[in-house]
Structure 1
Amino acid sequence: MREISLKDARTTLSALLDQVVAGEPAAITRRGRKQAVILSFQDYEKLARVPNIGQLLAAFPGDEDDLPPRLIRSVRKPEP
């Protein structure tokens, strides 16, 4: 992903937009830190359609009993 300063993005907005529409998103930086991303509307629509975990769980066609039991394991190291 290309990085461009806010100052340069302002002066080359038309060319930047052409590159973004062609499939090359750009990160806009301010004082050397990434502040925003510009991407094509098509890429934005793809991201907007990605369901979150709540939507995925709500769409599950089965019952709770259809889910396999979780495997529980300790996160602690076994003591010698």
Structure 2
Amino acid sequence: MLTINLKDAKAKFSSMVNEAMNGEVVTITRHGKPVAALVSVDVAEAVRQSMQSKPPGLVHYLKTFPGDSPIGRNPQPSRPVEL
């Protein structure tokens, strides 16, 4: 990972873009603190896709459980309830 301050990044922007195109992550700092990163379009798109996809829910997890269903359903009829 390449780290460069903002002033130098402005002066060497085209070479920083070339670095990002070659798969390098360029971290840009301001006053010594990281504030931005320059990455290739492929990496940015992969991050965007991962942020938009929702994690699988409980139903998905249970469907992927090997073997029979881990939770069985009670076949008995419901008990009467007085209201």
TM-score of the superposed pair, with normalisation by structure 1: 0.66
| Aligned-CA RMSD value | 2.9
Between the aligned partners of 1:8 and 1:20, the Cα distance in structure 2 is: 16
Q: CA deviation at 1:55?
A: 3.8
Corresponding residue of 2:12: 12
Match for 1:16: what amino acid? M
Aligned to 1:75: none
Percent identity between the two aligned chains: 24
Measured at CA, do residues 5 and 60 of structure 1 come closer, stay the same or move farther in structure 2, by a change above 3 Å? Answer: same
How has the CA–CA distance of structure 1 residues 53 and 47 changed in structure 2, closer, same or farther, with 3 Å as cutoff? closer
> Which runs of 5 or more structure 2 residues have no equivalent in the other structure?
64-68, 72-83
Q: What is the aligned length?
A: 66
Distance 1:58 1:51, change over 3 A: farther
CA distance in 2 between partners of 1:22 and 1:34 (Å): 21
| 1:68-79 to 2 correspondences below 5 Å | none
Long gaps (5+) in structure 1: 69-80
- 1:44 matched residue in structure 2: 44
The 3 A distance-change label for structure 1 pair 51 and 17 is closer
TM-score (norm 2): 0.64
Aligned to 2:42, the other structure's residue is in SS state helix
In the TM superposition, residue 54 of structure 1 has moved relative to its aligned partner by 4.3
Alignment-mate amino acid for residue 14 of structure 2:
S
Deviation of the 1:52 alpha carbon: 6.6
